[in-house]
Amino acid sequence: MRNLKIVLLAAGIIILTVTLGFFLQLTWATRLWPLPDGRLSYNFIAAILAGSAVPLIWIALSEEWGAFFNYGLSFGLLYGGIGIYAFLLFARDSHIALLAFGSIIIIIAVCHFMGAAWGRNQSLKDRRPMPSLLRWAFVIELAVLILVGIALLQRTPNTLPWPLSQESSVMYGWVFVSLALYYLYPVLNPKWSHAKGPLLGFLAYDLVLIGPLLARFTNLNPEFQLGQITAVAIITVSAALGIFYLFINKGTRLSRRLQM
């Protein structure tokens, strides 16, 4: 398992590096995304990447291999959906960047699905039950993610509080639908180890995106006001839940070795 641990830690560090590149809108990073997008979209991509890197690093450090099933399945669906849509866009527009992007993303998706298949046969080290209040909070988060994801897949205007192209809307729709699966699994299998990954991921997402969203209040068009207030409220509540259960509550907070 030592080699696997090293690989996952290296992958997490690479993802965090790309996260920083997107957040700062460095040219080498934004060129990785095949669609022209604005600042908030790049911040959003950075938040999603951070939300995928932190749980991966936690799984590696804690050696909680049983948690990799849900992680691999959810992010495999995320990358798979985006990759397939990139191929569909390539078939329409014949832009070689879409073909290259789609090919790489599909390979990443396959790696996640293979990891999920392996993780399914691994046992959990920490089998404590998930707190019941947190389970209900996950149900709410799940419902919100599904509703937003469907709206984005249907290209509904102003679903997110910044302008989106129709193509980006579908891409991000796959993100929300896939993350809904990440929350669904702990609801159906309420073990604390299954809940830690989604909590860590959403907390990382929150910390990356909250600053850009709050700054947007100073120059916000009326059509985005409701979405902006809703997004900030969801981020604030989910961050509070993550901080409480991961770092404050004695029964669930992470230990120094990240194993409890």
* 255 inside domain: no
Is residue 214 included in any domain, yes or no? Answer: yes
| 260 part of a folded domain | no
Half-sphere exposure for 241 (CA within 13 Å, toward CB): 24
What are the CA-CA distances from residue 77 to residues 54, 102, 173, 242, 248 (Å)? 18, 14, 12, 24, 32
* Start-to-end C-alpha separation, the chain: 19
Q: Is residue 197 part of a domain?
A: yes
Q: What is the pLDDT of residue 255?
A: 66
pLDDT of 104 reads 96
Residue 257 in tokens: 């070795």
In a domain, residue 256? The reply is no
Angle between helix axes 166-188 and 132-153 (nearest 10 degrees) is 160
Dig out the tokens for 220 from the structure: 């916000």
Tally of structural domains, the chain = 1
Residue with tokens 């920490």: 126
User: What is residue 36's predicted lDDT score, i.e. its pLDDT?
Assistant: 85
Say if 254 falls within a structural domain.
no
> 192 lies in which domain range?
2-248
Does 189 reside within a domain?
yes
pLDDT tens series, the chain, 260 aa: 788 999 999 999 999 999 999 999 999 999 999 998 889 999 999 999 999 999 999 999 999 999 999 999 999 999 999 999 999 999 998 899 999 999 999 999 999 999 999 999 999 998 899 999 999 999 999 999 999 999 999 999 999 999 999 999 999 999 999 999 999 999 999 999 999 999 999 999 999 999 999 998 888 888 888 888 889 999 999 999 999 999 999 889 886 444 44
181, 77 Cβ separation under 8 angstroms: yes
Does the pTM of the predicted model rise above 0.75? yes
- Inside any domain, residue 73: yes
